[in-house]
Structure 1
Amino acid sequence: MKQHKLTTDFCANVALVVICLTALVWGFIDKAA
């Protein structure tokens, strides 16, 4: 069960990173436009 929690946390962290990167990219595109 510990392994499963670790996987869940990892997925949550990856999702957060993806959201942050997407926001950064959109901000960059917005400034470039």
Structure 2
Amino acid sequence: QTKGEYDLQTTLSIIGALLLTLLGILLFTGTL
């Protein structure tokens, strides 16, 4: 795989993790 593809996969992984974290926070605060 090329460097560009690797960077893209890394970026998507980071974005996915951030979205999951944000969703978790929203769900957690919503249940309080």
Length-normalised TM-score, structure 1: 0.84
Partner SS, residue 11 of structure 2: helix
| Consecutive aligned runs of 4 or more in structure 1 exceeding 4 Å deviation | none
- Structure 2 length-normalised TM: 0.86
Partner residue, 2:12: 13
Give the corresponding residue for 2:26: 27
Quote the RMSD (CA, aligned, Å): 1.2
Between the aligned residues of both structures, percent identity stands at 9
Structure 1: 5+ residue stretches without partners:
none
5+ residue gaps, structure 2: none
